Structures are given as structure tokens and as C-alpha cells.
């Protein structure tokens, strides 16, 4: 297959008519007439500049979009191994580009760099430029706002259904559409992706079965398509799909480009001949990010034919192309070493020949020739409260559907409260009063801590992945996201506090001096629970690697408990341990609960001064101040979490 004689490069065999594609104006005029004028998605508007006309108007204009990359060279940081070897290319709106190549050729790496959506740790761009020109103006910085990326591993909330996911994305992104328009659009996308029958089945995951793998893939595509991105990147959208579904998907995404004026760039493995016919532009890559073919897909067969690599008539061209750029290894043995060497040399010569030919033809639009037209991209966002409402309603669904986050938490706290009730029922007022009451309060704190630290920590650690992805897509503000989470937690804390109050406070016979005591008790329990959740969120965003959590967790808890004041007198701890004392949720909570219990408790009847030492004598803050500090620490933790999220989202975007 590879021992062909290489003809000289000939201008007539140019793919994609690239040699003729020199100026943007020529490209414009070469567009088919029946293609409607490309338009921006509704949520991205072009704002007219004030010195033109109609200063306050924000309206949609037809736009010419061009994504171009030139001499894009990417290496591994560790050993400078080249992964993308000086790639050139460009795609105009109304066009799609299919990227094919052997596994490890660098297709995903190219998409990651073009989209600027995925972090690429361990890689560095050594050369090259990526430019997004909209209406002749460099708008590369707006890439995130106007593009979407369907990753190979779908990142979707497993407890939501495809329809709920689409509603959320439409509500967040399609800010200028009416509810009816959004519904129609959602139903159309569900039908066009064949999801209408399973639109109300939850997405699920490996352990939590929901829709099928192929349906999940289609749901991920629908989730991005509904937001009407100007540029859509898809990494292997057809993997795991049968040939009919693959055909439908490729047909749909190429059609999205043709009819709706988008740029669609996707990688694909082994398309069949029918799917290959749907391609518009086609980039074939070999290992090391080398360009083998870059041009019009319909001219690829003729191109390789002219290079003396004719595709057999009955063969699937996509399969043939992969075959001619693959190096087939021979079985490893002493005798085979020479044969392998010859094959390797031949393989490298073939690749060099292909790459040389392909490179000679790569002529890109001269960006300086583009005529900038008026206007700038601005993003229309939902109002703060609309966005908060949308996020709150998604959060409500997530909390309801995540058994650990709600029902199991409620059930466990009921069981835990019942155990406290059984042990401390009608607690002693005599000589054991202090020990028993203190023990009861400590168990209440342990109940609230165990219900409010681990579950939020685990669930938020999983949810962070979605958060970062949605931040990449500029979907919402960090503050609204966090407020929506906090509001869901406040409801949970309220229910938990009521459970503890109902099952512990009166049945166990805690201080009934006045009704205010039971209110202070409930308020302290509520704030302590919420502070634990806030601490869990902060812990989760500070530690990215889930496997480190079990190691770090005991350190955190020990430092909090040791400085709580109930195991050791707070005055006896070393002064360098004081910082932990000041941030100990357990200490403020214990102080507030103990003051509440022992101050003015007229029921107490302990007469042995050796066992009846009231713990409050060593406390440093009053009940009211302790409760206030508990509240302030919770707020400080929330603010710190927002800041860390913001910084990490920013650093993630810088790394791309």
C-alpha cells in the first residue's frame, strides 16, 4: 500500500480550491446563493457604536465569522515532543470541518486549543496564532461567549432529564426568547436528535442507570445546541452510536452550520461512506499532529488518486485514508527487526510526502484584508434575580433527586435524634446534670456535623466539574450560583433544626426556663449546621483532588474539636494553637449551647461542687457573641468559597 511512486506536487490537484481562496471578499462571493445570511444567536448581539445611528439600540446583524489558525504548534512540556505540527486552517460560518486521524494524532488537542475551553496541563503552544474574526474584527477574546464544546466524556447532571437540562440551558442562555419560543425550540431539538421518547428519563451514570450511552451523547449535543452557539466544537460526537444514529448526528450538525450560519468543527472516528459524503471541509491528521489533507471533503478521493494513492471503488474512503497513514507493526522478533525498520522508513517518507503536499496548498485568508464593519459583540445576560430563580429551581430538582443530599440526610438525622432521645430521655437534674447535659449537647453538635459536612463535601466536589464547565460557557454569575446553593441549604438546615428541636429539646428535658432558651438552642443548631456546610464547600474548592480529602479531613476536625473547649479547658492550650481556637465552629456552638443550658436553669439541683462545675465559667465569649461569630464564620466561609471559585475559574481560563 505504501510503496507508491510519488508524483510531483501539481497545482491542479489543489483541494478546497485553497489556492484561489486568497481574499475574504472572494470567499464571500463564492458562497452558495440559497444559504441564508448568517446571523448571530439571539443572546449574542451586535451593538451599534454610538457615533453611527440609533445609539441605544441593540439588535442582531448578519455577521461574517472566520476562525483561523496558522502555524499552530503544540509540544509536551516535559520532553518537547511535538503534538501539533504547525497546523494551518480556517473555517467560515456556514461551513463545517471534520477532523479525522489515527488515535493519538492530536485531534482532541487541536479542538482544545481552538476552542480555548479545555485546560491543557502539561502542554505548551510554542508557535502560531488562533484568530476569531467577526465582521472583520478580531473577537478572539469573546470565544467563550459565542462557542460551545461537546466533550468526549459527557458532563451532564445525572439526576436531571434531557428535557430539564434543555430547559435550564434555554432559560439561562436564550434570554430574549419567550417561554413558548423556547419550548418549541426544545421540542424541535429533542425530535431532531431522536430523544423525544426518553426526554423525561434521567440522564444517569454507570452506577445509576438512566438513558443509554448513545442517548446521553445526543443529550450532550442537544444541551449545547439549544444555546445557539456561533461556533460548535464536538469531540467524537458519534462514538458509541450505530451507523444510522451517526449519520443523523453528522447530518444534523453539518446542517446546523449550513442553515444557521454556525461554524461546526468536529472530530470523528471511522465514519462510513454515507457519513463521509456529508462532510464539508476535511482535515486528515497523522500522529504528531501532522497535516495529511486539509481541504474540501468531496475532493479528497481525487486528490489522493492524483498522488498515486487511489481509493478502491468499493472501499469506504474514510477507512482507506486512515489505512494509508497507518504504520502496521510486524510481530516483534530478531528476524522481523529489519522488516520493521524498512516499514518505518517507508512510513515516515510517505507521511513527509503527504505533509509536504498538503502544506504547500495551505493558503489562508489575509486577515488584514478583512474590512471591519461597525458593531461589537456584547452579551445579554438575565437579570440577577431571574438568573437566581433559574438556578434555584435547578438546585431544588438536584436536591430532591439526590437521595444522599436530602432524603437519606433527613432519615439519618431522625435516627440519630432518636438515639439521643433514647439515651438522654428526661435527663438528670441532680449531680449528673452537668455531665449528662453537656454530653447531650455534644451529641447534638455531632449529629449536625455528620449530617452537614460529608454529604455536602462529596456532592459539591462532584458538582464543581459542572460549575467550571458552565463558567467556561459564561452561563451565569458566581454569586447567583452560590446564593442558589445557599438557599437550598438553608431550607435543609431549617428542617434538620426542627427535627433536633422536636426530638431532643423537650423530650430530653433541656432548659425550659423560658421559651427563648429553646429559640436560642434552635438558632444555634441551625447556624452550626449551616457553618459546617459552608466549611465543607470551602474545603471542597480548596482541595481539587478527591482522594486527598480522607487525609486532610481528620486534621481539620481534630483542630476544630481540640479547640472547642469541652475536651480541654481552652485556657490550657498552647498559644500558637490559638488561631484554630478563633475559627473553631465547635467552640462557638458549644459556648452558645452551654450558656443557654446552664444559665438560669432553675431545674438544676446538683449539690456536689466537685462534679457540678458549670462549664460556662471558662468561656471567653457570651452566648450572643458566640452565635454572632458562628454566623460571621459561615458568611466568611461562603465569601472565601466564592473567591476561590472565581480565582480558579480565572486561572483555568488563563491556562487554555
Ligand X SMILES: Nc1ncnc2c1ncn2[C@@H]1O[C@H](COP(=O)(O)OP(=O)(O)OP(=O)(O)O)[C@@H](O)[C@H]1O
CA-closest candidate to residue 441, choices 528, 373, 378, 513: 528
- Residue from the set 48, 65, 93, 109 that interacts with ligand X by CB under 6 A: 109
Instruction: Give residues 466-485 in contact with ligand X (rule: CB under 6 A).
Output: none
* Residues 37-76 as x/- pattern, contact with ligand X by CB under 6 A: ---------------------------------------x
Phi/psi at 365 (nearest 5 deg)? -60, 135
Distance between CA atoms of residues 276 and 372, nearest Å: 36
- Which of ligand X, Mg ion, none binds 340 (CB below 5-8 Å, type-dependent)? none
How big is the site for ligand X, counted in residues (CB under 6 A)?
14
For the CB of residue 237, give the shortest distance to ligand X in the complex, in Å: 13
- Which of ligand X, Mg ion, none binds 101 (CB below 5-8 Å, type-dependent)? ligand X
- Which of ligand X, Mg ion, none binds 405 (CB below 5-8 Å, type-dependent)? none
Residue 122 touches ligand X, criterion: CB under 6 A: yes
- Which of Mg ion, ligand X, none binds 86 (CB below 5-8 Å, type-dependent)? none
- Residue 122 or 609 having the CB closest to ligand X: 122
| Residues 641/482, Cβ–Cβ less than 8 Å | yes
Helix/strand/coil for 39 = strand
CA-closest candidate to residue 442, choices 259, 565, 619, 349: 565
- Residue 267 or 601 having the CB closest to Mg ion: 267
Residue 552's contacts (CB-CB under 8 Å, 6 or more residues apart) are 539, 543
For the CB of residue 331, give the shortest distance to ligand X in the complex, in Å: 23
Task: Give the end-to-end CA distance of the chain in Å, rounded to a whole number.
Answer: 40
Interface with ligand X by CB under 6 A: which range of 39-47, 120-128, 156-164, 642-650?
120-128
- Which of ligand X, Mg ion, none binds 103 (CB below 5-8 Å, type-dependent)? ligand X
Q: Residue numbers of the site for Mg ion (CB under 5 A)?
A: 108
- Residue 71 or 108 having the CB closest to Mg ion: 108
- Which of ligand X, Mg ion, none binds 536 (CB below 5-8 Å, type-dependent)? none
Give the C-alpha distances (Å, rounded to integers) separating 570 from 68, 582, 587, 616.
65, 11, 9, 11
For the CB of residue 102, give the shortest distance to ligand X in the complex, in Å: 7
- Residue 101 or 529 having the CB closest to ligand X: 101
8: cell is: 510531483
- Residue 107 or 260 having the CB closest to ligand X: 107
For the CB of residue 564, give the shortest distance to ligand X in the complex, in Å: 44
- Residue 107 or 167 having the CB closest to ligand X: 107
Distance between CA atoms of residues 270 and 101, nearest Å: 9
- Residue from the set 62, 71, 73, 120 that interacts with ligand X by CB under 6 A: 120
What does the DSSP assignment read for 198-224? Answer: GTTS----SSS--S-HHHHHHHHHHHH
- Residue 79 or 334 having the CB closest to ligand X: 79
For the CB of residue 132, give the shortest distance to ligand X in the complex, in Å: 21
- Residue 85 or 473 having the CB closest to ligand X: 85
For the CB of residue 545, give the shortest distance to ligand X in the complex, in Å: 16
Using alpha carbons only, how large is the chain's radius of gyration in Å?
A: 32
Distance between CA atoms of residues 429 and 338, nearest Å: 93
Interface with ligand X by CB under 6 A: which range of 121-129, 168-176, 299-307, 324-332?
121-129
- Residue 40 or 318 having the CB closest to Mg ion: 318
- Residue from the set 56, 80, 121, 368 that interacts with ligand X by CB under 6 A: 121
- Which of ligand X, Mg ion, none binds 106 (CB below 5-8 Å, type-dependent)? ligand X
| Residues 351/292, Cβ–Cβ less than 8 Å | yes
For the CB of residue 625, give the shortest distance to ligand X in the complex, in Å: 51
* Residues 69-108 as x/- pattern, contact with ligand X by CB under 6 A: -------x------x-----------------x-xxxxxx
- Which of ligand X, Mg ion, none binds 348 (CB below 5-8 Å, type-dependent)? none
Q: Is the dihedral of CA 363, 367, 369, 374 positive or negative?
A: positive
- Residue 96 or 109 having the CB closest to ligand X: 109
Distance between CA atoms of residues 63 and 37, nearest Å: 8
Name the one residue in this structure whose C-alpha cell is 501539481: 10
What H or E segment, with its residue span, contains residue 578? Answer: helix 578-582
Distance between CA atoms of residues 467 and 460, nearest Å: 10
Beta strand 137-138 pairing with 376-379: unpaired
Residue 565 touches ligand X, criterion: CB under 6 A: no
- Which of Mg ion, ligand X, none binds 420 (CB below 5-8 Å, type-dependent)? none
- Residue 70 or 152 having the CB closest to ligand X: 152
- Residue 108 or 120 having the CB closest to Mg ion: 108
For the CB of residue 361, give the shortest distance to ligand X in the complex, in Å: 22
* Residues 581-610 as x/- pattern, contact with ligand X by CB under 6 A: ------------------------------
288: cell is: 504528531
- Residue 84 or 399 having the CB closest to ligand X: 84
What H or E segment, with its residue span, contains residue 83? Answer: strand 82-92
Strand order in the sheet with 231-234: 147-150, 231-234, 263-267, 95-101, 281-286, 290-296
Interface with ligand X by CB under 6 A: which range of 118-126, 422-430, 538-546, 623-631?
118-126
What does the DSSP assignment read for 378-433? Answer: EE----HHHHHHHHHHHHHHHHHH-GGGTHHHHHHHHHHHHHHHHHHTT---STTH
Burial profile 462-485: b = 16 or more Cβ within 10 angstroms, e = fewer: ebbeebbbbbbbebbbeebbbbbb
Give the C-alpha distances (Å, rounded to integers) separating 395 from 333, 422, 493.
60, 35, 15
What residue ranges bind ligand X (CB under 6 A)? 76, 83, 101, 103-109, 120-123
Amino acid at each position: 500500500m505504501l510503496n507508491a511512486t510519488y508524483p510531483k506536487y501539481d497545482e491542479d490537484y489543489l483541494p478546497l480550491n485553497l489556492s484561489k481562496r486568497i481574499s475574504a471578499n472572494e470567499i464571500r462571493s463564492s458562497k452558495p446563493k440559497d444559504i441564508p445570511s448568517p446571523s448571530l444567536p439571539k443572546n449574542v448581539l451586535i451593538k451599534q457604536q454610538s457615533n453611527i445611528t440609533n445609539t441605544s439600540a441593540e439588535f442582531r446583524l448578519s455577521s461574517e465569522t472566520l476562525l483561523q489558525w496558522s502555524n499552530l504548534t503544540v509540544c509536551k512540556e516535559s520532553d518537547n515532543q511535538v503534538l501539533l505540527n504547525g497546523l494551518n486552517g480556517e473555517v467560515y460560518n456556514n461551513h463545517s470541518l471534520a477532523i479525522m486521524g489515527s488515535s493519538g494524532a492530536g485531534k482532541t488537542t487541536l479542538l482544545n486549543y481552538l476552542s480555548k475551553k479545555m485546560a491543557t496541563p502539561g502542554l505548551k503552544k510554542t508557535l502560531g496564532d488562533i484568530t476569531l474574526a467577526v465582521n472583520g474584527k478580531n473577537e478572539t477574546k469573546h470565544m467563550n461567549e459565542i462557542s460551545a464544546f461537546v466533550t468526549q466524556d459527557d458532563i451532564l447532571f445525572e439526576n436531571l432529564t434531557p428535557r430539564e437540562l434543555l430547559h435550564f440551558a434555554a432559560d439561562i442562555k436564550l434570554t430574549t426568547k419567550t417561554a413558548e419560543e423556547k419550548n418549541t425550540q426544545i421540542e424541535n431539538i429533542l425530535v431532531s436528535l431522536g430523544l423525544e421518547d426518553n426526554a423525561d428519563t434521567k440522564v444517569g451514570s454507570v452506577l445509576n442507570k438512566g438513558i443509554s450511552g448513545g442517548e446521553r451523547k445526543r443529550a450532550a449535543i442537544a444541551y449545547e445546541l439549544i444555546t445557539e452557539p456561533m461556533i460548535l466544537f464536538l469531540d467524537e460526537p458519534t462514538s458509541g452510536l450505530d451507523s444510522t444514529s451517526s449519520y443523523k448526528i453528522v447530518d444534523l450538525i453539518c446542517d446546523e452550520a449550513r442553515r444557521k450560519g454556525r461554524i461546526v468543527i468536529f472530530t470523528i472516528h471511522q465514519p462510513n461512506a454515507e457519513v463521509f459524503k456529508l462532510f464539508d471541509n476535511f482535515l486528515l491528521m497523522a500522529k504528531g499532529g501532522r497535516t495529511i489533507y486539509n481541504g474540501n471533503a468531496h475532493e479528497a478521493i481525487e486528490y489522493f488518486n492524483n498522488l498515486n494513492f487511489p481509493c478502491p471503488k468499493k472501499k469506504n474512503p474514510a477507512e482507506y485514508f486512515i489505512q494509508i497513514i497507518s504504520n502496521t507493526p510486524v510481530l516483534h522478533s530478531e528476524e522481523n527487526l529489519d522488516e520493521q525498520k524498512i516499514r518505518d522508513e517507508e512510513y515516515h517518507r510517505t507521511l513527509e510526502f503527504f505533509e509536504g503536499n498538503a502544506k504547500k496548498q495551505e493558503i489562508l485568508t489575509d486577515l488584514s484584508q478583512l474590512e471591519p464593519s461597525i458593531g461589537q459583540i456584547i452579551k445579554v445576560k438575565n437579570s440577577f434575580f431571574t438568573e437566581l430563580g433559574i438556578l434555584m429551581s435547578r438546585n431544588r430538582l438536584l436536591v430532591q433527586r439526590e437521595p444522599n443530599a436530602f432524603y437519606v440526610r433527613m432519615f439519618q438525622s431522625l435516627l440519630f435524634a432518636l438515639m439521643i432521645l433514647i439515651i438522654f430521655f428526661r435527663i438528670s437534674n441532680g449531680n449528673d446534670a452537668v455531665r449528662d447535659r453537656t454530653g447531650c449537647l455534644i451529641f447534638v453538635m455531632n449529629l449536625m456535623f455528620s449530617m452537614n459536612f460529608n454529604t455536602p463535601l462529596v456532592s459539591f466536589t462532584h458538582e464543581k466539574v459542572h460549575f467550571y464547565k458552565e463558567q467556561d460557557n459564561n452561563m451565569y454569575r458566581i454569586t447567583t450560583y452560590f446564593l442558589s446553593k445557599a438557599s437550598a441549604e438553608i431550607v435543609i438546615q431549617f428542617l434538620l433544626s426542627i427535627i433536633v428541636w422536636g426530638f431532643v429539646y423537650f423530650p430530653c428535658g433541656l432548659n425550659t426556663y423560658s421559651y427563648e432558651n429553646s429559640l436560642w438552642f434552635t438558632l444555634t443548631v441551625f447556624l452550626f449546621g449551616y457553618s459546617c456546610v459552608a466549611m465543607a464547600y470551602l474545603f471542597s474548592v480548596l482541595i481539587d483532588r478527591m482522594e486527598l480529602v480522607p487525609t486532610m479531613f481528620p486534621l481539620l476536625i481534630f483542630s476544630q474539636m481540640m479547640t472547642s473547649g469541652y475536651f480541654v479547658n481552652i485556657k490550657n492550650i498552647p498559644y500558637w494553637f490559638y488561631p484554630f481556637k478563633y475559627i473553631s465552629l465547635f467552640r462557638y456552638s458549644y459556648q452558645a449551647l452551654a450558656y443557654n443550658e446552664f444559665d438560669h436553669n432553675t431545674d438544676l439541683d446538683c449539690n456536689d461542687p466537685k462534679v457540678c462545675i458549670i462549664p460556662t465559667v471558662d468561656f471567653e465569649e457570651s452566648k450572643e457573641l458566640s452565635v454572632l461569630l458562628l454566623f460571621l464564620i459561615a458568611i466568611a466561609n461562603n465569601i472565601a468559597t466564592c473567591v476561590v471559585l472565581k480565582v480558579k475559574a480565572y486561572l483555568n481560563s488563563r491556562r487554555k
